[in-house]
Chain A
Amino acid sequence: MIEPRMDLGPHLDGNVLAGPLREIFAMDVTAATSRCASCGAVGAVAALHVYANAPGMVARCPTCEEVVLRMVRTPDAAWLDMRGTVSLRIPM
């Protein structure tokens, strides 16, 4: 199995998740620190690479480009998949 070279596409910053996440959570999650489940890199959710031209928002680790979290908004539900993050540290 070969690993292809990746061209970083036109992504945005995790900041853009702030609105959609505030629809779910009572506080701002983008200022939280997340740890990537794939490579262990630690950083602000706001600094993730977000691909938003897609059926949902896909936030990737800026170090290894693996998926850290995904969010899909359907008409009557929000789907949040965080299996790519080991932990979230939310400042209180």
Chain B
Amino acid sequence: MGIVTPGFRGRPRSSGPDLPPGQYLTHDFPVLSAGPTPRVPMDRWEFVITTETSRAHRWTWADMMALPSETPTVDIHCVTKWSKLGTTWQGVSLDTLMSDVDTAADYALVQSYGGYTTNLPLTDLLDGQAWLAYKFDGEDLHPEHGGPARMLIPHLYFWKSAKWVRGIQLRFDNEPGFWETAGYHDYGDPWREQRYQGD
């Protein structure tokens, strides 16, 4: 630990049993960005799941809106140490999107407009653990928070919940994504504090 600066407290923060180790509670919704914010016109937006055999399953915005949606209330945990509890979203479960997709793949590489990528085991997208979310707190998802649509995978650190998502590549091999190739953990479980490679 460095030299303590007397009287410096930093942003008000608390830890508690609801929080994974090393996390602080926040009430606002910090905006993190690794680049310019893409603006995707709705009429040209599409979401594509590509299987390991290069079979593409496509949804336009209208296709997606026609699917049954869910409104999960979940806690989110950012690797930069803030957590936000009880956030409410609306989106389509990945179980719904994957129901007609025939695949033997083990891994998923999530891809975004603007070039961002992130990887995870395919099983982490299934069984009610992941959504393609387009509303936050009852409002259309703001572009700075990933609108028109982003991934919501709350059981992993929030960098896995890719903003501005455009598709998912299903793969046999585990291709590391944007932060996973730059020192961050391959899996990113906040409860096991898997922030960096080797954690």
Contacts and interface: CB of A to CB of B under 8 A. Distances in A.
Q: Do chains A and B touch in the complex (CB under 8 A)?
A: yes
Interface of A: 2, 4-10, 51, 53-56, 58, 60, 65-67, 70-72, 74-75, 77, 79, 81
6 contacts: A4-B41, A7-B37, A10-B33, A51-B35, A55-B80, A72-B183
Contacts of A54: 32-34, 80
Interface string B126-169: 00000000000000000110000000000000010000100000
Nearest to B78: A55
A67 B35 contact: yes
Contact of A9 (B33, B41, B44): B33
Given A51-B34, A55-B32, A79 B114 contact: no
Given A2-B44, A9-B35, A79-B182, 19 more contacts: A4-B41, A4-B114, A4-B164, A6-B36, A8-B36, A9-B144, A10-B33, A51-B33, A53-B31, A54-B32, A54-B33, A56-B34, A58-B34, A65-B35, A67-B115, A72-B182, A72-B184, A74-B183, A75-B196
A65 B183 contact: no
Interface on chain B toward A: helix, strand, loop, or mixed SS? loop
Given A55-B32, A74-B196, A9 B37 contact: yes
B13 interface: no
